[in-house]
Amino acid sequence: MRDVLAELARRVAAGEVVGVGTVVATFSSAPRPPGAAMLVGGDGDVVGSVSGGCVEGAVYELAREVVVAGPPVLRRYGVTDDDAFAVGLTCGGIIDVYVEAVSAASFPELPDVLGTVRAEEPVAVATIVEHPGWTGRRLVVWPDRVAGDVPSARARDAIADDARGLLAAGRSATLHYGPDGQRRGEGMAVFVNSFEPPPRLLVFGAIDFAAALARLGAFLGYRVTVCDARPVFATRSRFPDAEVVVDWPHRYLAEQADAGRVDGRTVVAVLTHDPKFDVPLLEVALRLKLGYVGAMGSRRTHDDRVRRLRAAGLAEDELAGLASPIGLDLGARTPEETAVSIAAEIIALRWGGGGDRLTRTTGSIHRAPGVV
C-alpha cells in the first residue's frame, strides 16, 4: 500500500471513488506479501499489484463492481491441482484479497495517514474485513492517538493495542476477535496495515561504490545516508539519492544510536577500507543491535581489520556479526555490480535465502523473515 498511497490520496482528494484491492493474508508460496495493493480508478487505470499478474484481472473486475455496487468483498484466490490455470495462483499459493471502494467520505483520515507516512513517522490502518455489520469500518492508529469509526469501545481498545504491537514490529497482519472485540472468539477479522518508517542504510565512505550502493538502497526502499569525514568527497552532487553527512563515521553512528535513530532493521555498509575510519566505526557498529554490518576490503584487509578489532576488545560473538568481505560471491567488478552483490547479501539475510541459484535448490522459494 505504501507504493500506491500517494496516488490513492491524490485521486480521492480530486473527488474520485477508487476501487482498492489489498492482500490481507497469504498462504504457502504467495507472490506478494500482506499489504500489497492495487488501485482501479474511475477511468479504468490500474496502479499497483496484488499478485504479480496471476489474479490481477479478476481483482480488477471485482474492484469495478464494488465501486458501483458499494459493499466491500473479501475474496480468496488459490489453485487446485486439477485446474491450475483457472483464476488463481499458478505458483500454488493462496491469497485473501479485500476489495473496497475508497472515497473522501469512507476514508476521511487518508490525508493524515499520507502526511504521517511522508514525515517518516509510524501509523497503522486497521480495517475490519469481516464482521456481521461492521465490515469496511476503519481505525487509524498512531503511537499516541486513534481515529476512526469502530463503534465499540471494547473493539477499539483491542484493535488499537494490537495494531501498535504490529506497528512496533513492522508487520502487517490479519487479526481475529469476537464480534465485539473479544480476545477469544470468532466473527471479526481486522487487517492491520503497518506503515513504519523506512529502514535506514548507512553508507560510510564517500567513494564510487558508495554512490552505486546509495542508488540501489534508495530503489529498495531504504532511507540512505552517506557519511564521510572528508568534505571534498561527501557532497550532495555526488550522492543525489542520499542524505550526506560530513563527520567522523564512528562519532556519527554513536550519536545516531544515542538518539534512537538506528534499530534492528538498520543496515551499515563500511566502504572506507581505511583502518583509521573503519576500525573505530566497527567498534561502535558491532556492539549495537543492527540488522546488518558489512565492511569492504580484501581478505588481507579483513584479517588485519579483525586483528585490530580483537585488540580493541571486541569479543568473538561480536565479531561474528561482521559481514566481511562484504557481499555475495557474484563475480562483481564494477561499483554497480558490487552494489548488487552487497544488496543481495542483505536481502538473503533478511529473508533467510542461501544465495544459491534457484535451479539448484528445492522447496519453497519464499521464506520467513530472517535478520535484516
Quickly state the pLDDT bin for 371 (edges 50, 70, 90): very low
Residue 40 or residue 196, greater confidence: 40
pLDDT tens, 206-228? 999 999 999 999 999 899 999 99
State what percent of residues in the chain have pLDDT above 90: 74
pLDDT tens, 266-313? 999 999 878 899 999 999 999 999 999 999 999 999 999 999 999 999
Q: Hey, which residues does 23 pair with through a beta bridge? A: 97
Q: Is 288 in contact with 342 (CB distance < 8 Å)?
A: no
Is the pLDDT at 99 greater than 90, yes or no? yes
The dihedral over CA atoms of 80, 59, 162, 102, expressed in degrees to the nearest 10, equals -170
pLDDT tens, 306-364? 999 999 999 999 999 999 999 999 999 999 999 999 999 999 998 888 888 888 887 76
Q: Is 96 in contact with 24 (CB distance < 8 Å)?
A: yes
Q: What is the pLDDT of residue 134?
A: 96
Using CA atoms, how far residue 318 sits from 281, 332, 342, in Å, is 14, 28, 20
Q: Dig out the grid coordinates for 67 from the structure.
A: 465501486
Is the pLDDT at 83 greater than 50, yes or no? no
Q: What is the pLDDT of residue 39?
A: 96
Q: What is the pLDDT of residue 85?
A: 43
Q: Dig out the grid coordinates for 63 from the structure.
A: 474492484
Is the pLDDT at 367 greater than 90, yes or no? no
Look over the chain and give the mean of its residue pLDDT values, rounded to a whole number: 90
Q: Is 101 in contact with 160 (CB distance < 8 Å)?
A: no
pLDDT tens, 58-79? 999 999 999 998 799 999 987 5
Is the pLDDT at 52 greater than 90, yes or no? no
Residue 96 CA to residue 75 CA, distance in Å, equals: 6
> Which amino acid type is present at position 326?
I
Q: Is 322 in contact with 282 (CB distance < 8 Å)?
A: yes
Q: Return the biggest CA–CA distance within the chain.
A: 71
